Amino acid sequence: MGYRENKVQKGSPALLLTDYSTPQRGAFHRSRALLKHACLIIVLYGIHALWSTGFQACGLIRAISTVRSEEPEFDWFSLDPSTEITWSSCFSEYKCARLILPLDYLSPPGYGPNVTLALQMLPATDTENYRGTILINPGGPGGSGTDLVRRRGKDISRIAGGSFDVLGFDPRGTGASTPSAQCFDSQSQHKIWDLQGGDRMLNLTDGSIPFARARQAAIGRRCEEVLGGNGKESENGTAAEWGAGRFMSTASVATDMLEITQRLGEDKLKYWGFSYGSILGQYFSAMYPDKVGRVVIDGVFDGYNYLGALWNSNLVDTDAVWQSFFMFCHQAGSSKCPLYESSVDKIQNRVNSILSSLIDQPLVVPFTSTGPFVLTEKALHTYAFRASYSPVINFPSLAELFVSVERNNQTALSELSSKFDTYACSCTDTPQWLTDHEALHVISCGDGDPYQFSADGFHDWFTNLTAISQFAAPIWGNAYLRCAEWRVRPKWRYTGPLAAENTSNPVLLVSPAYDTVCPLTDARAVHARYGGSGLLVQNSYGHCSLAAPSLCTAKHLRAYFENGTLPKEGTVCEPDELPFVGTVNHDVHAMSTEDKELLDALRGMAEEVPSFGLV
């Protein structure tokens, strides 16, 4: 299917539509086929599959031991959507709404179908000093803002200050927003597909590339059928006919944020975006520089690398994060790290030996509460990479896992099903907002420059990526294959400069010194492109500042949100917790009550690190 890309300049009337006629309700409710056969048994097929689908489309990597309940506590579709924000009570202390906006911002007002966005807000606690609303994006692309605010809204409020409403929204295609970027007929069908992921890491010599490419081609073709439309854009056509996937670009989501802000009665955006949320913040600040209020982008990916669909600047510091696993284990000692050896190199050699042992002899775990499974080198390697996104939370559990594998501790390994999401085929439909989707493909591949697979091109790209990070390249290499096989192109794709000489208020960038997939070098490049912006560096390891609690960082964030105060150029904050080691820099017993509460909030947020770039 052909496509056209529209370069729309900031301030263009097409970007500032506000007068929408009342849209049709239920424009896109694709029927979901029920599986009428007997329910399948719960399947635990390996750690790689559990991680790679448990938090689909780059939502949030939670603590390894956390199991998320699939029981819905609130029916989003019970709320009547409206062209204005009409709040209803939900989840006890929260307010929820469904906001109708145009599917296509380039069409005349009232022409064509619409989208409906799910919004969830935690009201400010300090109403006397009320300062407005902070919009939250949890990363992805594909993360649910409503889900994050539901679970961690109070922590965010405590960090930013209680004078703000905290609002999470599900971007187009995600969560409870409709239409959804779902390409399978049911959640069970999606999970069954994931079972076929194979057991080989990407490698240029063993045939793993054609298999991985074929899987991406299958997803691409399926999504093109479901989300690509029929090539017609009639006035009364449905979103399915127009092609919902053609209208989920970051440019459209940035414009949605502008519309949400205006419907809240606020003049400028206040925003905290993590990981992919840094891309969304860059887009908004470039497209609408006069509408920037307080914009924080945390864990920064270079927008130009993203726009070019290159995905090759991300791994600059990944190996440093992985090396910190051995470093902090040694620093903590044998009482806190079960992998402890007399030197960092010995710990690393021990871990490498455990991983290598699974190549020729995968580990059989025949008895668990959910059935047998086989642990492969790919599964454990992938698990370790994902754990490196949040070292403080995940490294201790990872060390215990390595020891269990080394000792073939069947008792410990059999308990894996209680530490990871397991897959159960349900005899009833999973609510849309809990169903896996393909938003990562739709948004990131649609935003990027289109290209087709080239054997030589992939060889060179993957070789260079491996030179940067041998540890992560076999996993990250899927980024090239994912977009090479993607064919749904957005009608409107922003290709203007991701820069601004001046914004109405300065943007604040926050970056760990060693980010797993969004390196400090990217943050510095973006910092240089947005005039007057500030850059706060946190001397920590992991993805986003969330990965390591730091009172210093939190206090700078609060000062920025409340007063617009930027940290001095060159400011570096130290973390207050280290992997294995635990709390540092503070005597917890001597801390003020306010600092203790703030540190608790940071610990909660450390369990919500975005799983950027992973499916």
pLDDT, tens only, 478-529? 999 999 999 999 999 999 999 999 999 999 999 999 999 999 999 999 999 9
Nearest to 327 by CA among 36, 598, 110, 580: 580
pLDDT range class, residue 425, cuts 50, 70, 90: low
| The token pair that represents 482 in the structure block | 């994912």
For 330, phi then psi, to 5°, come to: -65, -40
Mean pLDDT of the chain: 88
Nearest to 164 by CA among 200, 123, 113: 123
Give the residue, 94 or 26, on which the prediction is more confident. 94
pLDDT score for 339:
98
Q: What's the N-to-C CA distance of the chain in angstroms?
A: 25
pLDDT score for 370:
74
318-332 vs 344-360: helix crossing angle, rounded to 10: 120
Q: State the Cα angle at 247 between 246 and 252, rounded to 5°.
A: 140
Are the CB atoms for 331 and 581 separated by under 8 Å?
A: yes
pLDDT score for 73:
73
pLDDT score for 587:
72
Counting residues of the chain whose pLDDT is more than 90, the rounded percentage is 78
Domains and CATH numbers, the chain: 125-168+249-314+492-607 (3.40.50.1820)
- Can you spell out the DSSP letters for 125-146? S-GGG--EEEEEE--TTT--HH
CA 462, CA 454: separation in Å to the nearest integer? 12
| HSE-CB of 327 using CA atoms within 13 angstroms | 11
pLDDT score for 594:
92
Residue written as token pair 């190549």: 359
| The token pair that represents 40 in the structure block | 């399948």
pLDDT score for 417:
52
CA 55, CA 472: separation in Å to the nearest integer? 19
DSSP 574: P
Residue 87 pLDDT greater than 70, yes or no: yes
pLDDT score for 345:
98
Residue 421 pLDDT greater than 70, yes or no: no
pLDDT range class, residue 423, cuts 50, 70, 90: low
Residue 322, H or E segment: helix 318-332
* Sign of the torsion formed by the C-alpha atoms of 487, 491, 497 and 501: negative
pLDDT score for 615:
60
Residue 9 pLDDT greater than 70, yes or no: no
pLDDT score for 584:
92
pLDDT score for 29:
36
pLDDT tens column, 243-289: 999 999 999 999 999 999 999 999 999 999 999 999 999 999 999 99
Are the CB atoms for 382 and 475 separated by under 8 Å?
A: yes
pLDDT score for 46:
38
> HEC profile for 324-357?
HHHHHHHHHCCCCCCCCCCCHHHHHHHHHHHHHH
pLDDT tens column, 48-69: 443 333 333 344 555 544 444 4
276-287 vs 250-263: helix crossing angle, rounded to 10: 70
pLDDT range class, residue 427, cuts 50, 70, 90: low
CA 267, CA 260: separation in Å to the nearest integer? 10
Residue 588 pLDDT greater than 80, yes or no: no
pLDDT range class, residue 557, cuts 50, 70, 90: very high
pLDDT score for 585:
78
Q: State the Cα angle at 336 between 330 and 338, rounded to 5°.
A: 75
pLDDT score for 354:
98
- Give one word for 92, left, alpha or beta, with left for phi > 0 and alpha for psi -120 to 50: left
Nearest to 497 by CA among 526, 476, 470, 469: 526
Nearest to 499 by CA among 284, 300, 254, 320: 284
**What torsion do the CA atoms of 551, 556, 561, 565 make, to the nearest 10 degrees?**
160
Three-state DSSP state, 455: helix
CA 527, CA 508: separation in Å to the nearest integer? 9
Give the residue, 401 or 7, on which the prediction is more confident. 401
For the sheet containing 88-90, what is the strand order?
Answer: 88-90, 94-102, 114-122, 164-169, 132-137, 269-274, 292-298, 507-514, 534-541, 572-573
CA 362, CA 38: separation in Å to the nearest integer? 31
Q: State the Cα angle at 589 between 583 and 593, rounded to 5°.
A: 100
Nearest to 419 by CA among 435, 397, 387: 397
| The token pair that represents 599 in the structure block | 């540190």
Residue 14 pLDDT greater than 50, yes or no: no
> HEC profile for 383-443?
HHHHHCCCHHHHHHHHHHHHHHHHCCCHHHHHHHHHCCCCECCCCCCCCHHHCCCCHHHHH
pTM, 2 dp: 0.89
- Give one word for 321, left, alpha or beta, with left for phi > 0 and alpha for psi -120 to 50: alpha
CA 235, CA 293: separation in Å to the nearest integer? 36
What residues are paired with 134 via a beta bridge? Answer: 166
pLDDT score for 32:
37
pLDDT score for 196:
87
pLDDT score for 530:
98
Are the CB atoms for 274 and 544 separated by under 8 Å?
A: yes
pLDDT tens column, 293-337: 999 999 999 999 999 999 999 999 999 999 999 999 999 999 999
Counting residues of the chain whose pLDDT is more than 70, the rounded percentage is 86
Three-state DSSP state, 95: strand
Residue 94 pLDDT greater than 90, yes or no: yes
CA 168, CA 568: separation in Å to the nearest integer? 30
